[in-house]
Structure 1
Amino acid sequence: MEQPDPTIHQPVRLKIMAALKALPQGEQLEFVRLKGIVGATEGNLGAHITTLEEAGYVGVEKDFVGKRPRTRVAMTPHGRRAFEDYVSYLQEIIGVAGSS
């Protein structure tokens, strides 16, 4: 990888991906909890989740708990691989910088 993945590289999306990667594979994080972790507004977080979903990096599930809407987000296998590649890219940079 010559350049970082521009979809993941954006700071809010990087935080989203890191939070989801910390979960066991296939596990979901509720939007409200993710909002607290990332520190974004609802609209901003929603827009970034949409970008990640369009890239195939996350899956979004919407349902209701009683009468209240609930949105949950999970990292897809494709997203997990993309994030691992992104981390490897950063590690390569550190390795190059550390050997100079």
Structure 2
Amino acid sequence: MAAYQLVRPVLLSAETVAARSGLHPDLVRRYATLGLVESTTDRTGRLWFPPATVPVLARVQRLRSGLALNYAAIGLVLDLLDRIRVLEAQVRSQQRWT
């Protein structure tokens, strides 16, 4: 059975993400290059971001300014925070069944 995409996913340009997050577009591109935010590249090499990038950028900025973490540490902290969120959701789910 063939599966067809009914709608195109919403993707934002680096300029739009920058405007929504209050950052310079070059900084948004740098974070994408470092792998701190998810992005895709089209055939022309232009970066596109999911809408969820804006809150991730806010989190990156808080870690960078509040804790003075380097980029490698920020990536590690983001991964750990995501893992904690998943584990907490699993615990909440298991508590509902007991």
**Greater relative contact order: 1 or 2 (C-alpha under 8 angstroms, separation 6 or more)?**
1
Q: Which has the higher strand share?
A: 1
- CA radius of gyration, larger in: 2
